[in-house]
Structure 1
Amino acid sequence: MTDTAPLLDPARVRELFDLRGSYMARMGGGYEGDPYPLWGRLREQAPVHEGALHDLSDFPGDYFFQGLPEPDRPHYTAFGYAACNDIYRDAELFASNADAIDLTQASPNNTLLNMGGQQHRRYRALVQPRFAPKQVEWWIRKSIDEIVHALVDHVQDRGRAELNVDFCAAIPLLTITGAFGIPVAQALDLRAANDPMQTIQIIAPLVAARREEPGDDLLTVLVQAELTEEDGTVHRLSDPEIYSFCMLLLAAGSGTTWKQMGITLTALLQRPEALAAVRADRALLRPAIEEALRWQPTDPCFARFVTRDTEFHGVPVPRGAVMHINLGAANRDPARFERPDEFDIHRPPRPMLSFGGGPHICLGMHVARAEMLVGIGALLDRLPGLRLDPDAEAPRYVGFYERGATAIPVLFDS
Structure 2
Amino acid sequence: MTRATIDFDPFSEQHFNDPYGTYRRLRDEAPVYYSEKYNFYALSRHADVAAAFKDFETYSSAYGVTLEEIQSGQHSHNKSIIWMDPPEHRRMRSLVNKVFTPRAIQAQEEVIRDRITHYLSKADPANFDVVADFSALFPVEVITIMLGVPEADRQNVRLWLETSLERPPGRMTQSRAGNEAMMKTGALYYNIIQERRVEPQDDMISRLCAVEVEREDGTRTSLDDVEIAGFCTLLGGAGAETVAKLLGIATVVFSKHRDQWEQLRADRSKIPAAVEELLRYEGPVQYDCRYVTKDVELHGTTIPQGAAIMLLGAAANRDERAFTDAEIFDINRDRAQAQNLAFGYGIHSCLGAALARLESVIALDYLLDFMPDYEVDVANVKRTTLTSVNGYARVPVRVRQG
Alignment of 1:84-233 (within 5 A): 84-98=49-63, 107-108=76-77, 110-141=79-110, 143-155=111-123, 158-193=125-160, 194=178, 195=180, 196-233=182-219
8 Å contact from structure 1 (residues 259, 404) kept in 2: yes
8 Å contact from structure 2 (residues 16, 390) kept in 1: no
2:6 maps to what in 1?
Answer: none
Choose the corresponding residue for 2:388, options 401, 409, 414.
401
Q: Displacement of 1:76 after TM fit?
A: 1.0
Measure the CA separation in 1 of the matches of 2:365 and 2:315: 29
8 Å contact from structure 1 (residues 333, 340) kept in 2: yes
Measure the CA separation in 2 of the matches of 1:148 and 1:272: 23
Fraction of identical pairs, as percent: 31
**Between 230-239 and 106-115, the greater mean CA deviation after superposition:** 106-115
Alignment partner of 1:117: what SS?
A: coil
Q: For residue 209 of structure 2, what is the amino acid of its counterpart? A: V
1:81 maps to what in 2?
Answer: 46
2:164 maps to what in 1?
Answer: none
8 Å contact from structure 1 (residues 172, 254) kept in 2: yes
Measure the CA separation in 1 of the matches of 2:269 and 2:54: 32
2:272 maps to what in 1?
Answer: 286
CA distance 1:239–1:49, shift in 2 (3 Å): same
CA distance 1:389–1:337, shift in 2 (3 Å): closer
The root-mean-square deviation of aligned C-alpha atoms, in Å, is 2.7
2:170 maps to what in 1?
Answer: none
Q: TM-score, normalised to structure 1's length?
A: 0.80
Measure the CA separation in 1 of the matches of 2:375 and 2:344: 32
1:247 lines up with 2:233 in the alignment:
yes
1:308 lines up with 2:294 in the alignment:
yes
8 Å contact from structure 1 (residues 334, 340) kept in 2: yes
8 Å contact from structure 2 (residues 265, 372) kept in 1: no
Measure the CA separation in 1 of the matches of 2:208 and 2:13: 33
Choose the corresponding residue for 1:40, options 24, 41, 49.
24
Q: Displacement of 1:172 after TM fit?
A: 1.4
Count of residues paired in the alignment: 363
8 Å contact from structure 2 (residues 383, 394) kept in 1: no
Q: For residue 201 of structure 2, what is the amino acid of its counterpart? A: G
Q: For residue 377 of structure 1, what is the amino acid of its counterpart? A: D
8 Å contact from structure 1 (residues 266, 395) kept in 2: no
CA distance 1:365–1:409, shift in 2 (3 Å): same
Q: Displacement of 1:388 after TM fit?
A: 1.9
2:397 maps to what in 1?
Answer: 410
1:20 maps to what in 2?
Answer: none
Measure the CA separation in 1 of the matches of 2:32 and 2:186: 40
Q: TM-score, normalised to structure 2's length?
A: 0.83
Choose the corresponding residue for 1:362, options 320, 336, 350.
350
8 Å contact from structure 1 (residues 289, 372) kept in 2: yes
Measure the CA separation in 1 of the matches of 2:198 and 2:208: 13
Q: Displacement of 1:28 after TM fit?
A: 5.4
Which sections of structure 2, spanning at least 5 residues, go unmatched?
A: 1-9, 70-74, 161-177
CA distance 1:279–1:358, shift in 2 (3 Å): same
8 Å contact from structure 2 (residues 317, 342) kept in 1: yes
2:281 maps to what in 1?
Answer: 295
**Between 287-296 and 26-35, the greater mean CA deviation after superposition:** 26-35
Q: Displacement of 1:264 after TM fit?
A: 1.7
Q: Displacement of 1:398 after TM fit?
A: 5.7
8 Å contact from structure 2 (residues 137, 155) kept in 1: no
Q: Displacement of 1:45 after TM fit?
A: 1.6
1:387 maps to what in 2?
Answer: 374
Measure the CA separation in 1 of the matches of 2:26 and 2:63: 27
